Amino acid sequence: MISLNGGIKIGSFFSLDPTVKSELAVVSHAHSDHIKAHDKIIATAPTLDLARLQYKRFIDHQLNYDTKMAIGPATVELKSAGHMLGSSQIIVEFYDERIVYTGDFKFEKNLTCQQAEAHECDILLIDTTYGKPRYKFPPLEECRQRLLEFVDKQLRAGLTPIILAYSFGKSQEAMKILSDSGIEFEAHSLAYQAALIYIKHGVDINGLHELGEKPSGDKPVIMPPNFLRYADTRGWNRFRTCFLSGWIIDKHQGRSGSNGYGIPFSDHASFEDIIKYVEIASPRKIYTLFGPPDIAEFLNKMGFNATAAHFNSGHNLSNRNAINLELL
């Protein structure tokens, strides 16, 4: 049986992005809301490397994109999700059904990972984080220009530009933008360590410096959004912040408690791209995950069979029992 029960459970033996420690997990990417301290993890090489920045003790099994792995009667294949380096959509073929779990995904080409595509399936479990029509994001080039203009303006004014971005993924996108423009920058420790993994896997990032006890004052700084809430900024140069997030579209969330402004630079699919994925995949059944429940109602009005769900909703996706699955 395939069900939504603490993740996407394939029988009783392995799960996709389980929310609790599991014996065997297929993990879509290394963000902390999608990975836990599992005993065994199947993922791409970059995801496994990034996971070790958070968890030390697990047995890893590298699975490259476009390579199928059989586990008992199920077959697992990873495809790029375009969300961050190593991020994957997970395709499971289980008896006569093809199930696609998009994980967090983004269609637009970005600077640090392979672009995503939609995949036809019978059952689609889709990330709908931004599942409202108002979530329409500017193109990458516009975000890039706005970020560079922000950095240049602050440096010219004698201020330190501080870029607030999540340590994995968004930070390295910002680094790549600065690097490609010949700008040296400082990065908070976790984002710095993650950047070294990006470099290891072929992403060209130059001008990288690890942030010390305080910013040097003459370089832009990249740090997590909540860092300034707890940091002692006495003795720092005057600074202004820029928050990189799709939530900037919701102005009440836009500043993240900062003294600056934001750019709606998202690593998730826009509302339009969610609809585009569904239309291409043409699934028999859709489960919407991580977003507002009304996206399911919208899809139903379009003629699809959609249900708003979450990882602990208990929905049964397939009633075929999976027996004798072999653990790696």
Q: Which residues are CB-neighbours of 289 under 8 A, at least 6 positions away?
A: 125, 126, 127, 128, 309, 310, 311
Separation of alpha carbons 317 and 2, rounded Å: 5
Q: Taking the alpha carbons of 151, 152, 155, 159 in that order, is the dihedral positive or negative?
A: negative
Separation of alpha carbons 306 and 324, rounded Å: 31
Residues of the chain with CATH 3.60.15.10: 2-134+268-318
As beta bridge partners, residue 91 has: 77, 100
Instruction: Extract the residue ranges of the chain whose pLDDT is less than 50.
Output: 252-258, 322-328
Separation of alpha carbons 38 and 26, rounded Å: 10
Residues of the chain with CATH 3.40.50.10890: 140-263
Separation of alpha carbons 57 and 132, rounded Å: 39
Topology adopted by domain 2-134+268-318: Metallo-beta-lactamase; Chain A (3.60.15)
Tokens of 237: 């140069």
pLDDT value at residue 259 = 55
182 CB burial (10 A radius; 0-12, 13-18, 19+): exposed
pLDDT value at residue 319 = 63
pLDDT value at residue 255 = 45
Q: Taking the alpha carbons of 246, 250, 255, 256 in that order, is the dihedral positive or negative?
A: negative
Separation of alpha carbons 286 and 66, rounded Å: 23
Architecture of the 140-263 domain: 3-Layer(aba) Sandwich (3.40)
pLDDT value at residue 257 = 43
Backbone angles phi, psi at 91, to 5 degrees: -105, 125
As beta bridge partners, residue 37 has: none
Q: Tell me: the pLDDT tens digits for 214-224?
A: 888 899 999 99
pLDDT value at residue 322 = 44
**DSSP letter, residue 246:** G
The 10 Å Cβ neighbour count of residue 216 is: 13
**DSSP letter, residue 65:** B
As beta bridge partners, residue 55 has: none
Q: Tell me: the pLDDT tens digits for 131-143?
A: 999 999 999 999 9
